[in-house]
């Protein structure tokens, strides 16, 4: 049956290690070789910046500078 683990604590440690590796350490091709957390952080910061510009009516300037 493959890798059967009957100890929930051991399974939780394995899953936690895998999640940390997958989301914080392994770059993903589909994300431009960033890790998921890097991609999320970068896009979240850009969206916050765009929201701030939008509130101030400056979002048109962002397009000229960064696109």
Question: How far, in Å, CA of 19 to CA of 15, rounded?
Answer: 6
Write the pLDDT tens digit of every residue in 6-46.
Answer: 899 999 999 999 999 999 999 999 999 999 999 988 888 77
Confidence label for 57 from pLDDT (cuts 50, 70 and 90)? low
Q: Domain residue spans in the chain?
A: 8-66
Question: How far, in Å, CA of 41 to CA of 54, rounded?
Answer: 20
Query: Comparing 42 with 63, which gets the higher pLDDT?
Result: 42
The model's pTM: 0.57
Q: Would you state the pLDDT for residue 62? A: 57
Q: Is 51 a residue whose pLDDT tops 70?
A: yes
Q: Would you state the pLDDT for residue 66? A: 58
């Amino acid at each position: 049956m493959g890798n059967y683990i009957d100890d929930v604590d051991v399974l939780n440690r394995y899953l936690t290690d895998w999640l940390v590796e997958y989301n914080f350490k392994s770059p993903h091709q589909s994300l431009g070789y960033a890790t998921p957390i890097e991609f999320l952080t970068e896009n979240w910061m850009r969206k916050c910046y765009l929201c701030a510009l939008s509130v101030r009516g400056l979002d048109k300037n962002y397009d000229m500078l960064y696109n």
